[in-house]
Amino acid sequence: MAAPTLASDSSTSFWADADRHLVRYGGAFTREIIDRAEGSFVFTEDGRRILDFTSGQMSAILGHSHPEIVATVQEQAARLDHLFSGMLSRPVVDLARRLAGSLPAPLEKALLLTTGAESNEAAIRMAKLVTGKHEIVSFARSWHGMTQAAASATYSAGRKGYGPAAPGNFAIPAPNAYRPDFTDADGQLDWRHQLDFGFEMIDAQSVGSLAACIVEPILSSGGIIEPPPGYFAALREKCRERGMLLILDEAQTGLCRTGNWYAFERDGVVPDILTLSKTLGAGLPLAAVLTSAEIEQEAHERGFLFFTTHVADPLPAAVGNTVLDVLTRDRLDERARDLGGFLRRGLEAIAGRHDVVGDIRGRGLLAGLELVVDRETKRSSDELGAHVTRRCLELGLHMNIVQLPGMGGVFRIAPPLTATEEELSLGLSILDEAIGDAVKTL
Answer yes or no: is pLDDT of 6 > 70. Answer: no
Query: What's the average model confidence in pLDDT over 305-322?
Result: 98
Of 154-168, 256-270, 360-374, 402-416, which gets the smallest average pLDDT?
402-416
Whether 292 and 103 have beta carbons less than 8 Å apart is answered as no
Whether residues 364 and 260 share a domain: the answer is no
Q: d(Cα 298, Cα 132) in Å, to the nearest integer? A: 11
Q: Which domain holds residue 52?
A: 30-59+331-439
Give tens-digit pLDDT for 44-103: 999 999 999 999 999 999 999 999 999 999 999 999 999 999 999 999 999 999 999 999
Whether the pLDDT of residue 4 is over 60: the answer is no
Residue 7 has pLDDT above 70, yes or no: no
Q: At what angle do helices 116-131 and 293-301 cross, to 10 degrees?
A: 70
State how far Cα 111 lies from the chain centre: 19
- In this predicted structure, the answer to whether residue 39 has a pLDDT above a threshold of 80 is yes
Residue type, 177: A
pLDDT category of residue 405 using cuts at 50, 70 and 90: confident
Residue 130: DSSP 8-state:
H
- pLDDT reported for residue 433: 98
What's the rounded mean pLDDT across residues 196-214?
98
Q: Are residues 103 and 195 in the same domain?
A: yes
In this prediction, residue 408 has a pLDDT band, given cuts at 50, 70 and 90, of: low
Domain co-membership, 44 together with 191: no
243 in the same domain as 321: yes
Which of 298, 329, 360 is the endpoint of a domain? 329
User: Which among 253, 293, 245, 260 is positioned nearest to 277, based on CA atoms?
Assistant: 253
Q: Are residues 324 and 365 in the same domain?
A: no
Q: What DSSP assignment string belongs to 143-183?
A: ---SSHHHHHT--SS--TTS----TTEEEE----SSS-SSB
In a domain, 21, yes or no: no
Tell me the pLDDT tens digit for each residue of 367-404.
999 999 999 999 988 899 999 999 999 999 999 998 87
Q: Do 230 and 314 fall within a single domain? A: yes
Q: Are residues 287 and 181 in the same domain?
A: yes
Question: Taken in order 151, 155, 156, 158, is the CA torsion positive or negative?
Answer: positive
Tens-digit pLDDT profile for residues 138-190: 999 999 999 999 999 999 999 999 999 999 999 999 999 999 999 999 999 99
235/382 same-domain check: no
- Number of domains the chain is built from: 2
AA identity, residue 380: S
Judge whether 154 lies within some domain.
Answer: yes
- In this structure, are 360 and 276 located in the same domain? no
DSSP string, 15-56: HHHHHHHPPP-SSPPPS--EEEEEBTEEEETTS-EEEETTHH
pTM for this model (two decimals): 0.96
Residue 160 and residue 304 in one domain = yes
Neighbour-count burial of 112, counting CB atoms closer than 10 A to its CB (0-12 exposed, 13-18 middle, 19+ buried): buried
CA distance 112 to 98: 12
Catalytically active residues are 143, 216, 249, 252, 278, 412
Task: Among 307, 329, 351, give the residue marking a domain's end.
Answer: 329
pLDDT tops 50 at residue 8: no
CATH number of the domain bearing residue 47 = 3.90.1150.10
Residue 234, classified by CB atoms within 10 Å of its CB into exposed (0-12), middle (13-18) or buried (19+), is middle
